[in-house]
A and B are shown apart, each in its own frame.
Chain A
Amino acid sequence: MSRIFAIGRKEFVHIFRDPRIIMSVFGMPLIQLILFSYALNYDITNIPTAVLDQDKTTTSRQLVQSFSASGYFAIDRTLSTEKQIDDVLTEGADKVIIRVPAGFAKKIAKGGKAPVQVLIDGSDPNTAQTAAGYSAAIAQFWSGKVVAEAFERRGLVAAEGIQPIEPRLRVWYNPDMKSVNFLLPGLIAIIMMNIAIVQTAMAVVREKEYGTIEQLIASPVKRYELMIGKIGPYLGIAIIDIILVSLVGIFLFGVPFRGSIIVMAIASALFIFGSLGLGLIISTMSSSLQTANQMATFLSFLPGFMLSGFVFPIRNMPVVLQWATYLVPARYYLSILRGVFLKGTGPSILWPNILALVIYSTLTIVASALMFKKKM
């Protein structure tokens, strides 16, 4: 026991005496939280929009009006010819162009279908997708209104009590569509991976690079004592970070926490242990800090970022990549965190994810114990 403490104590001194490590384990998580919350914003409003109204009727103006009234589209230009459409889109100043063809009002008056063209600049797929969604909703809403008015003109509404169908977009679990709500759980996973995988791997490899590992191997320290002593401090820091980031998220950014702390604690413990194991495995395979850093980044950060659903939704990925996500532990942890934070989901639904994390942590801890030899 005293040996584990000796190693753990020494590791703490290493951490607190190296500003780079301090920055990496305490500064980075908070900076990431703030950056991601403000910069990586999926909330799209005020999309610059141009209008080509070739109908020039009250009806067409009403339609354009409902676009600008939605708040999603900011109409900053009115075009007069079709030729201009090309120029505007190429120039890139406006992302959306609404074209109301001539005869629009007449077609509506006759009760027929009246096409409206919405051109969207697809070079920023995120904005494009959102713009497409909003314009479809607005068009539907508007046509509902038109139908209702048509009924009204024929005096049908009051008599029959028929309400016009009014589509209302309702986003569940994250009703304000606040990106920070969606990102915070992912951020926790990313931070855990940085501390548990990258820092642990570096902590062991540092001893190799400085030659001190040889001294430890020649000492009576046991394998498990070295492992526990090494990962203990990082385990502690990881837990502090989870709490810190969660509190900042909840109290500063108003992220809801609807589920059970116990579920979150269990999932976090499993994920951290799995990651610490992976960190140790990487440390046994690399002999320099650079290799360790690269391997850790490649095995944790990239898949954690790209394939966990943190930034890119999994169901939008090509099928092959979707399969690949099943191999990314962060995916399961992320599902649990989002469930706990946003939906208040309990273990009855989350258990497959928890099981996946049990398998992950068992595998890596066993593998690292087997690979972590006390020999050179």
Chain B
Amino acid sequence: MGETNSVVVDHLVKRFGDLTAVDDVSFTVKSGEIFGFLGPNGSGKSTTIRILCGVIDPTDGNASVLGYNVRTQPEEVKRRIGYMSQRFSLYEDLTVDENLDFYAGVYEVPPERFAERRTYILEMAGLVGRENELAANLSVGWKQRLALGCSIVHEPKMVFLDEPTGGVDPVSRRQFWDLLYEMADSGVTLFVTTHYMDEAEHCHRLAFIYQGEIIALGSPAQIKADQMTSTVIEVDCDDCERALEAIGRLDDVQEAYLYGSMVHANVDDARKAKRTIKEAMGASGVGLREMRIVEPNLEDVFVSLMDKMERR
């Protein structure tokens, strides 16, 4: 396929009354890539994905998916995409098989083809032998994989996943991402929204959306390189809460935040900042174990970006 675009979003706007959920957003998704759509809750992720899947109409602007305009040819789009919504849209009172069967019927998968797909999906989701169990009785990880299976029963070339790993345990999340990689390898384009930063690292390309606007776009490495002009100092101490308070007040620190059991501080002048942090810790009586400069990860980038936006 080469460098074709599966999704082209052009100055997309969606308003709900006075609220602008998506504010003049433009980006493209290349065929065959895993495109991560990142942002805090309420930033406009789901709204964008719903517009692209033809579930809601945009207020302004244009978007096309697989070459079809979502506004004028929504049915053409729907026929060709898979969509896994936030709430794993399974029918809980239907069995695993009945759920698959229903979506196969809705997407008009021919019976012979469905037999193959069914075997493939049951194996993929680890549901072999549980075909007759009610979806309600599956644990969250299985539900999630069954929901994915239902959304790809018709072998779409493009799949939209809206927070597919919400509320799922880390092991299942890992397994799920392995499935996504497999699909991407077979040439399926994936559009995934998430607010997990570690998941974002798995994506080929990312868009950060914040209050309806895209504030960064590119591969994870690119974004880190472009956006992270400041240095990240990791502070290991015995009372993070108090340390965070003390460090956050310093003029040399742009932004301080908890990172696991440590405090991260974004600073411009690392050497000067290290000194002032040490002093501040001494003054507030917090025991400092170690302090080091670390490679910024996506979470650092995102916090620093949001900080910039808020100060703007």
- Chain A interface residues (CB < 8 Å from chain B): 2-3, 5-7, 9-10, 13-14, 17-18, 210-212, 214-222, 375-376
Contacts and interface: CB of A to CB of B under 8 A. Distances in A.
25 contacts: A5-B105, A9-B102, A9-B105, A10-B98, A13-B93, A14-B91, A17-B94, A210-B89, A211-B85, A211-B89, A214-B50, A214-B87, A215-B151, A217-B55, A218-B53, A218-B54, A218-B81, A218-B83, A219-B83, A220-B78, A220-B79, A222-B75, A375-B57, A376-B55, A376-B56
A314 to B, nearest CB: 42
A39 B89 CA distance: 46
B98 A214 contact: no
Given A211-B85, A220-B75, A375-B55, A3 B93 contact: no
B295 interface: no
A375 B79 CA distance: 16
B95 to A, nearest CB: 9
| Interface SS of A by simple majority | helix
Nearest to B54: A218
A10 B91 contact: yes
B245 interface: no
A214 B106 contact: no
Given A214-B89, A375-B57, A220 B94 contact: no
Interface in B49-90: 50, 53-57, 75, 78-79, 81, 83, 85-87, 89-90
B87 A211 contact: yes
B269 interface: no
Contacts of A210: 87, 89, 91-92
Contact of B105 (A3, A215, A218): A3
B107 interface: yes
A7 B102 CA distance: 7
Interface string B226-265: 0000000000000000000000000000000000000000
Interface in B80-133: 81, 83, 85-87, 89-94, 98, 101-108
Contacts of A211: 85-87, 89
Contacts, number: 79
A7 B106 contact: yes
Interface of B: 50, 53-57, 75, 78-79, 81, 83, 85-87, 89-94, 98, 101-108, 151
Contacts of B75: 220, 222
A215 B85 contact: yes
Contact of B56 (A9, A14, A220, A375): A375
A220 B106 contact: yes
A2 B108 CA distance: 7
Contacts of B104: 6
CB-based closest 4 A-B pairs: A6-B105, A215-B89, A211-B87, A218-B83
B128 to A, nearest CB: 22
A3 B108 contact: yes
Contacts of A219: 78, 83, 103, 106-107
A6 B55 contact: no
Interface centre among A2, A7, A214 (most CB of B within 10 A): A214
Contact of A214 (B85, B94, B101): B85
Nearest to A219: B106
A177 B78 CA distance: 61
B230 to A, nearest CB: 40
Nearest to B99: A10
B70 to A, nearest CB: 11
A215 B93 contact: no
A338 B6 CA distance: 63
A235 B237 CA distance: 70
B55 A10 contact: no
A90 B46 CA distance: 70
A18 B57 CA distance: 35
Nearest to B87: A211
Contacts of B83: 215, 218-219
Contact of A10 (B54, B94, B107): B94
A321 B95 CA distance: 50
Given A214-B55, A218-B53, A17 B93 contact: yes
A97 to B, nearest CB: 61
B91 A3 contact: no
A3 B106 CA distance: 5
B51 to A, nearest CB: 11
A13 B99 CA distance: 11
A263 B206 CA distance: 66
Contacts of B101: 6, 9
Given A6-B105, A211-B87, A220-B108, 13 more contacts: A7-B102, A13-B94, A13-B98, A210-B91, A210-B92, A211-B86, A214-B55, A214-B85, A214-B87, A216-B106, A220-B79, A375-B56, A376-B56
B60 to A, nearest CB: 16
Interface centre among A10, A18, A220 (most CB of B within 10 A): A220
Nearest to A216: B106
A260 to B, nearest CB: 40
B152 to A, nearest CB: 13
A221 B55 contact: no
A147 B285 CA distance: 120
Given A212-B91, A214-B89, A10 B78 contact: no
Interface centre among A2, A216, A218 (most CB of B within 10 A): A218
B89 A10 contact: no
A270 B53 CA distance: 37
Contacts of A221: 106
Nearest to B79: A220
Nearest to A10: B102
A127 B103 CA distance: 59
A277 B256 CA distance: 59
Contacts of A17: 93-94
A245 B197 CA distance: 62
A221 B75 CA distance: 9
Nearest to A1: B108
A212 B93 CA distance: 12
Contacts of A376: 50, 55-56
B257 to A, nearest CB: 33
A219 B105 CA distance: 11
A14 B92 CA distance: 10
A195 B246 CA distance: 66
